[in-house]
Amino acid sequence: MNKPILLILLSCLLAIGLHAENKSKKPTIFLIGDSTVKNGQGDGQGGLWGWGDALSQFVDTSRLNVENHAMGGTSSRSYRSKGLWSKVLPSIKPGDYVFIQFGHNDSGAVNDTIRARGTLKGTENKSVEIDNLLTGKHEFVHSYGWYLQQYVKEIKAKGAIPVIISPIPRNDWKNGSIIRNNQNYGLWAKKIARSEHVTFIDLNAKMASALDKIGQDAVMNTYFFKRDHTHTTAKGAVLAASMVVEGIQEEIKPLKPLMLKEPNIHFPVKKRIFLIGDSTVANGNDSIVGWGRELPAFFDSSRIEIINKARGGRSSRSYYYEGLWDEVLQQLKKGDYVLIQFGHNDTGNIDKAKFRGSLPGIGDEVQEITRPDDTHETVHTYGWYMKKYITDAKAKGCQVFVLSHIPRNRWPNDRVERVNTSFGLWSKQVAAETEVHFIDLNNSIADQYESMGQEQVAEFFVNDRTHTKVTGATYNAKTLAKFILAEKGSTLRNYVDRDALK
């Protein structure tokens, strides 16, 4: 082999090796705790967030990892008994940090048939022997302090650094101040930290002081919701995370340089829904309105952004030929959602203006045409174009929904016209073949139209039989949101605003 080329290859291999070594050396902060650290799946369902989900926005993640392994409903005891800790422990390496915050659920029943997660109060080395009514297992239940002590010892044994954090305060007030837990779990957490010579961050005191300054009225529905005095809103989670960072800067010198000096907080990071389709989906104008314009009213706007890329007059073919799909594809990222509805314009001319008709079916048939400007185009089936959108979006890591198109205001034989043997059928077949979600808007809305009657349905449409007014668009958007909420196999259902559907 040529000597210069060999030297270049060796240099590249060395660089790759150094990169891998540096990556493996990057420390990780592991978070363990309850729902105040990670609520639900960490996606803000119901508008509730844990501070662990916000913490990474304060951190230079190019030099420090943050992994949130907290689990809602757990106590210092049940996090171990459920096997959660045994899954985290093997991943911890020397130089890592483990932040521990428990307490909210430790005051529960020691033995019952519902949760059986309580621990004995205090820090003493005491225990009670039980036959667990929930699990059926024989068990020794220890004190809250004892469990914290076990975590600390096992973390140290891995060569990692434990950090004990007092539980965030609840939104409970007395005489104009947030009630502290400095006589129970906050105090006990502090005692264990001192006895084990590990860092203690008094998150309870820090956050309580910050909330006191804000005031009870201003805290309500901004940092906590009235309906829940334990779990924070996104803004409350950011506040709690900022208090943890303050504690890091005060107490943990090696981590202080890894905290961003001027963090640009965008929390929560919103999930995105991209809509592609025709004028029955597009935003439209003052008179013609597609359901895509009204869909955001039925989603949690604090967690989801709906980007309507539908375009009037387009078919599955013309949306692709004109490069509109390429523009969307460049914007798609892993975790996005894509909703696709075409069909209204796919019955148009194949080789004449407006050049938007697609071939029927879902097969691989093609037709070669020449446009007036002498450019050639290979026209595919409706299903081919739909599969193209789906496979491209899935390759980007997106979750895809195929929708049969909304019905027109046509009533042959006093029944709403359906597309069960054409685009509705082909949409369903494509969704099944590509294993994505399918919502049959055409049939479901047609059924509802028939229950209303022609006179009421006519009020949903402008003078033609295809395009809806704002009332029709809102009705169709609400119907779609209901179907998404019922789609149990999709995470998109978690972002539907249930109150808006009432």
Q: Which of 399, 386, 393 has its CA nearest to residue 433?
A: 386
Percent of the chain clearing pLDDT 70 (strictly above) = 95
Q: Which of 335, 313, 338 has its CA nearest to residue 388?
A: 338
- pLDDT of amino acid 12: 46
Q: Does an H or E element contain 142, and which?
A: strand 138-142
Q: Rounded CA gap, 252 and 249, in Å?
A: 6
Confirm whether pTM is higher than 0.75: no
- pLDDT of amino acid 24: 55
Q: Which of 238, 295, 239 has its CA nearest to residue 272?
A: 295
What does the block give as tokens for 475?
């009705």
**What is 316-332 written as a DSSP string?**
HHHHHHTTHHHHHHHH-
Q: 143: which strand partners?
A: 120
Contact present, 436 and 429 (Cβ < 8 Å) = no
Q: Rounded CA gap, 200 and 163, in Å?
A: 6
> Can you tell me whether residue 272 is helix, strand or coil?
strand
> Can you tell me whether residue 369 is helix, strand or coil?
strand
Q: Give pLDDT < 50 ranges for the chain.
A: 4, 6-23
Contact present, 465 and 285 (Cβ < 8 Å) = no
Q: What are phi and psi of 308, to 5 degrees?
A: -90, 105
Contact present, 202 and 191 (Cβ < 8 Å) = no
- pLDDT of amino acid 402: 98
Note the pLDDT tens digit of each residue in 374-412.
Answer: 999 999 999 999 999 999 999 999 999 999 999 999 999
Q: Residues 286-318, buried b or exposed e (16+ Cβ, 10 A)?
A: eebbbbbbbbbebbbeebbebebbbbbebbbbb
Cis, bond preceding 268 (omega within 30 deg of 0): yes
- CA distances to 65, 259, 260 from 62, in Å: 8, 11, 11
